[in-house]
């Protein structure tokens, strides 16, 4: 019962947080130097046609961007908020279809890549972090440290282009860009294999660059736990080292790892913007960057509020998981 009260209270707070976030994001977007209407007018002028002032004013009014004063922006925000209350995220300026439809159509690619990369990240980073901590200053510890430095230091666009040049352009093992082979008509299992073939290098890029921070966190937490009194007591009782590490030490390193899981949920849906750009993937991150560059206000608002909602839910789930990892944690 106390957990339900805690969840209800946190959800109530989350509503106010999301309202504040939406207001800040809307003001920032309206104050951006990018102007979607002006870009359309420039494109028309380049084609040789001319646009009258009356048409320009009508276009601004049609898109709800006619008044950029404080009260005008507030009016636009409340109009967007009323539409959101009716589960309407608006219509994308660029795509001309509902924002929710754009998100659904492109979110699957980003989610699949992020999910596969996250699974491999945890499978690789956590065991390596544990073995580095239990064999401190050994060769394997130095190897893990080097991997950590690589993951932290290399920019994703630089490392992604290196892997693309090696595996796609020089060796020819994998496609350099895109998600499917346009020259071959695949379906069913063949289509899935084609997807995986195209996603290999992007996933490899994300995994190698993301395991570094996770390994460092796991190693640091394990080193702290391994020096605790209860670990020395467990060893003094004659327990096997494997039992001491897996049952006693590792479980207490899960709490900081659970904290990092708060950002995992939005990261699965946000898209790897730079990586998707490098490999020309039709993911939600690539679409969001294009929308930002072109001033697609409805899409930017819908996309960012979707991520904000996932962030709030991620923090709530992380708090609930504390009680499972550590029974001493009480939710109030």
* Per-residue pLDDT reduced to its tens digit, 37-95: 777 777 777 777 776 777 777 777 777 777 778 888 888 888 888 888 888 888 888 88
pLDDT of residue 59: 73
Using the CB atoms, write b or e for 250-266: b if 16+ within 10 Å.
bebbbeebbeebbebbb
Average confidence (pLDDT) over 242-261:
72
Confirm if 102 and 190 have CB atoms less than 8 A apart.
Answer: no
Of 101-105, 210-214, 223-227, 250-254, least confident by mean pLDDT is 250-254
* pLDDT above 90 as % of the chain: 0
SS3 annotation, the chain? CHHHHHHHHHHHHHHHHHHHHHHHHHHHHHCCCCCHHHHHHHHHHHCCCCCCHHHHHHHHHHCCCCCCCHHHHHHHHHHHHHHHHCCCCCECCCCCCEHHHHHHHHHHHHHHHHHHHHHHHHHHHHHHHHHHHHCCCCHHHHHHHHHHHHHHHCCHHHHHHHHHHHHHHHCCCCCCCCCCCCCCCCCCHHHHHHHHHHHHHHHHHHHHHHHHHHHHHHHHHHHHHHCCHHHHHHHHCCCCHHHHHHHHHHHHHHHHHHHHHHHHHHHHHHCCHHHHHHCCCCCHHHHHHHHHHHCCHHHHHHHHHHHHHHHHHHHHHHHHHHHHHCCCCCCC
Poorest-pLDDT segment among 106-115, 181-190, 204-213:
181-190
Confidence of residue 115 (pLDDT cuts 50, 70, 90): confident
pLDDT for 41 equals: 77
Which tops the pLDDT comparison, 248 or 306?
306
CATH code assigned to 99-294: 1.10.3720.10
The pLDDT mean for the chain works out to 80
* 278 contacts 156 by C-beta, under 8 angstroms: yes
Contact by Cβ (8 Å): 25, 304 = yes
Q: Is this model's pTM higher than 0.75 or not?
A: yes
Q: Which residue has the higher pLDDT, 197 or 323?
A: 197
Q: Check residue 328 and give its pLDDT.
A: 58
User: What average pLDDT does range 154-169 have in this prediction?
Assistant: 86
pLDDT at 332 over 60: no
* Dihedrals phi, psi of 213, to nearest 5 degrees: -60, -35
pLDDT at residue 25 tops 70: yes
pLDDT > 80? residue 34:
no
Torsional class of 331: left (φ above 0), alpha (ψ -120 to 50), beta (otherwise): beta
Q: What is the pLDDT of residues 270-314, one digit of tens each?
A: 767 888 888 888 888 888 888 888 888 888 888 888 888 888 888
Question: pLDDT grade, residue 330 (50/70/90)?
Answer: low
Position 181 confidence tier, pLDDT thresholds 50, 70, 90? confident
- What sign does the dihedral 108-110-296-310 (CA atoms) show? positive
Amino acid 327: pLDDT: 57
């Amino acid at each position: 019962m106390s957990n339900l009260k805690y969840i209800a209270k946190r959800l109530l707070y989350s509503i106010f947080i999301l309202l504040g976030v939406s207001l800040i994001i809307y003001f920032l977007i309206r104050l951006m130097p990018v102007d979607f209407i002006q870009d359309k007018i420039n494109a028309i002028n380049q084609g040789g046609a001319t646009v009258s002032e009356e048409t320009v004013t009508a276009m601004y009014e049609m898109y709800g961007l006619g008044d950029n004063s404080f009260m005008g922006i507030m009016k636009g925000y409340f109009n967007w908020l009323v539409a959101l209350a009716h589960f309407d995220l608006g219509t994308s300026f660029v795509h001309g279809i509902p924002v929710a439809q754009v998100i659904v159509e492109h979110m699957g690619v980003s989610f699949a890549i992020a999910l596969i990369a996250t699974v491999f990240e945890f499978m690789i980073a956590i065991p390596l972090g544990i073995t580095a901590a239990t064999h401190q200053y050994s060769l394997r510890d130095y190897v893990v440290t080097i991997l950590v430095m690589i993951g932290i230091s290399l920019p994703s666009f630089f490392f992604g282009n290196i892997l693309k040049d090696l595996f796609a352009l020089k060796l020819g093992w994998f496609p350099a860009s895109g998600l499917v082979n346009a020259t071959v008509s695949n379906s069913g299992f063949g289509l899935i294999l084609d997807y995986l073939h195209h996603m290999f290098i992007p996933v490899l890029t994300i995994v190698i660059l993301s395991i570094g921070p996770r390994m460092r966190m796991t190693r640091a937490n394990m080193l702290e736990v391994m020096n605790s009194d209860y670990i020395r007591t467990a060893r003094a009782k004659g327990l096997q080292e494997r039992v001491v590490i897996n049952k006693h030490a590792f479980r207490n390193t899960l709490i900081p790892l659970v904290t990092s899981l708060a950002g995992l949920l939005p990261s699965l849906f946000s898209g790897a913007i730079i990586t998707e750009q490098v490999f020309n993937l039709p993911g939600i991150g690539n679409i969001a960057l294009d929308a930002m560059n072109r001033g697609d206000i409805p899409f930017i608002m819908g996309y960012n509020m979707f991520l904000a909602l996932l962030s709030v839910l991620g923090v709530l789930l992380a708090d609930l998981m504390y009680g499972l990892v550590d029974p001493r944690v009480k939710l109030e």
